[in-house]
Amino acid sequence: MDIMMHQRNRFFPLTLIVLTALATGCPSSESETDASKDDSMKAQPIDGGHATTTNHMDSGILSDTATADAGLAQSHTLSDAGQPNTTSQTDAGQPPMAEPLTLTAGQNELTWQQMVNGSMATRNFIVNTPPDFDATQNYPVVFVFHGNAGGNPNATPHQGLVSATNEMVQDKEFIAVMPQGYDNCWQLGPENSNATTQDEMDFVAMMVSRLKATPGVHTDLFYAMGSSNGAALSHHLAVNTTYFKGIATLVSGLDEGAGPTNSTPQVRVLQLMNRKDNLIPYEGGAAPTGHTYMSAEDSAHAWAVHNGCDETPTIEESAESVNGVPNKRVLTYNNCDNGNNVMHIGVLPVPWSEDCEGPPPSQGNTCGGKHTVDNSYFAPQSSWEFMWSFLSE
């Protein structure tokens, strides 16, 4: 199967890269508008359920055919020398080595042709590099996964994440990767899509393998951040692959029975959750998304158990509260193996009112955003900046 990758930089001439490989789809009812210790003190499991480790990715081969286009300032074809047509990813979760990407400073807009359900589909992703990108340096890589925007076929939710992370990229802190889910969502089981979860895993595996082969990339410093459906994907990838050193998730925890397994690596984990979320319930259970979730705090605990953290988290609650519910509740699991600490923050919507206890108010948004976390809790940082500060400690 041939795939073609186009690269367009906002500040530089268009570059065409021709590749080879495999895609996805998703309208959904879900709409979304970050030294040794006594073993007796380790956190103990709450839920014995585990997800099955999945093998990932048929890696594509690049074509040897040269291309020419009078409208392109630069046009060339890369080749994966000696790489087989299909290379199954191992249980270790690492993708096979691949041809490097050609990146320039700024926003590189890339596409990949992938076969999904018998049809070719174009997968889009943006790689945003620092303004004076230097391929002799080693930049960390942060994948930023958008939420479910499947109800709007014209949406480009991954592009909105460029502005959310651009200031950090401009400060040369990392390279940001913003992929677009097939039909604007990430298929994780109940989503209404012709794609499979494996299709999405293959897409991510392709990006990881190409980036790890790319000059300027620190191959040991890959992280994931995501919002809602993208946060759920971040959890899924952390459980089932070894791509990331840490994840930071916004308004989604683990599904019931899908926690870390014996083959899951230990990773740093940050969860930011809304305590009055009307889409992904803080207390867990069945949700309008079609998923059944652990409670938010049990999700953090599952990661703490896996990471060998202290049994009891440090709990901090804000003095401000509404009807006895603190505006902000922070659970920090310390002394985890290899510094892979776990933090969970649950907050109330801003502003908050009694309407948050029932259906959405008929006029205005008097209870604030339910399926989000207000940036005011992390001022002067944004929630995304706070997420990165945790991951990069």
- pLDDT(131) > 90: yes
Q: What is the pLDDT of residues 215-229, one digit of tens each?
A: 999 999 999 999 999
- pLDDT(109) > 60: yes
| Higher-scoring residue by pLDDT: 191, 263 | 263
Is-contact 280 251, C-beta < 8 A? yes
- pLDDT(166) > 60: yes
Mean pLDDT of 177-198: 91
List the chain domain ranges: 2-391
Q: Which residues contact residue 65 at a Cβ distance below 8 angstroms, ignoring those fewer than 6 apart?
A: 18, 77
| Higher-scoring residue by pLDDT: 1, 305 | 305
Q: What is the pLDDT of residues 196-207, one digit of tens each?
A: 999 999 999 999
Mean pLDDT of 244-261: 97
Q: Rounded to an integer, what distance in angstroms lies between the CA atom of residue 108 and that of residue 112?
A: 13
Model pLDDT, residue 320: 85
Q: Rounded to an integer, what distance in angstroms lies between the CA atom of residue 99 and that of residue 253?
A: 34
What is this structure's pTM? Answer: 0.78
Query: Which region among 29-38, 89-98, 280-289 has the lowest average model confidence (pLDDT)?
Result: 29-38
Model pLDDT, residue 323: 75
Phi then psi for residue 7, to 5 deg, are -125, 125
What CATH number was assigned to the domain covering residues 2-391? Answer: 3.40.50.1820
> Which residues on neighbouring strands pair with residue 58, listed in sequence order?
88
Express as a percent the part of the chain with pLDDT over 70. 71
Q: What is the pLDDT of residues 286-297, one digit of tens each?
A: 999 999 999 999
**In 3D, which of 301, 305, 100 has the Cα closest to residue 219?**
100
- Average of per-residue pLDDT values in the chain: 78
In order, the DSSP letters of 37-48 are: --GGGB---S--
